[in-house]
């Protein structure tokens, strides 16, 4: 026969076990906070704040980038280009298309959703292109 532990002893053992769990939970919470500060510091080190001016061309990150993928396999991650129509205090931007329409609501620039659109000069004719090769031959 197995000897049974008295009820008072069981209660004391259970309370000691719970105290040990609280200490472990506190240690895990501290490790989590340290990890989050390290990750925040690493992100802020690599990301640089950007300020756009009125009239600049920007691309907008398509949302949602996580979750189910509904488009084709190689769908672009960015929409645009859009023109910055108005700049608000605090880094918010109102974007417009080339036609002057406002297809999106005001976007917060601090969310890293905007990227400067690369502008390329397109030659009007083959003679204007300075490749050094005659492409008409």
Longest dimension (CA), the chain: 102
Q: Using 50, 70 and 90 to split pLDDT, how confident is the model at 34?
A: very high
**Structure confidence by residue, pLDDT tens digits, 37-91:** 999 999 888 877 778 889 888 888 776 655 565 677 787 777 888 889 999 988 8
pTM: 0.50
Reference 98, options 107, 88, 87, 85; nearest CA is 85
Question: For domain 51-67+76-137, which CATH number applies: 1.10.10, 2.60.40, 2.30.30, 3.30.1360?
Answer: 2.30.30
Q: Give the model's pLDDT for residue 19.
A: 81
Q: Quick check: 133 pLDDT over 90?
A: no
Name the burial class of residue 83, with classes exposed (0-12), middle (13-18) and buried (19+) by CB atoms within 10 angstroms of its CB.
middle
> Using an 8 Å Cβ cutoff, are 78 and 115 in contact?
yes
| CA-atom Rg of the chain in angstroms | 29
51 close to 109: Cβ distance less than 8 angstroms: yes
């Amino acid at each position: 026969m197995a000897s049974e532990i008295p009820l008072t002893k069981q209660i004391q053992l259970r309370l000691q076990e719970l105290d040990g769990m609280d200490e472990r939970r506190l240690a895990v919470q501290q490790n989590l906070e340290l990890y989050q500060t390290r990750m925040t510091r690493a992100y802020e080190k690599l990301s640089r704040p950007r300020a756009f001016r009125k009239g600049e061309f920007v691309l907008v990150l398509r949302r949602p980038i996580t979750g189910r993928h509904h488009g084709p396999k190689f769908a672009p991650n960015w929409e645009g280009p859009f023109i910055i129509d108005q700049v608000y205090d605090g880094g918010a931007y109102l974007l417009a298309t080339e036609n002057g329409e406002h297809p999106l609501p005001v976007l917060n620039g601090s969310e890293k959703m905007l990227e400067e659109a690369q502008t390329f000069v397109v030659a009007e004719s083959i003679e204007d292109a300075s490749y050094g090769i005659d492409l008409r031959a």
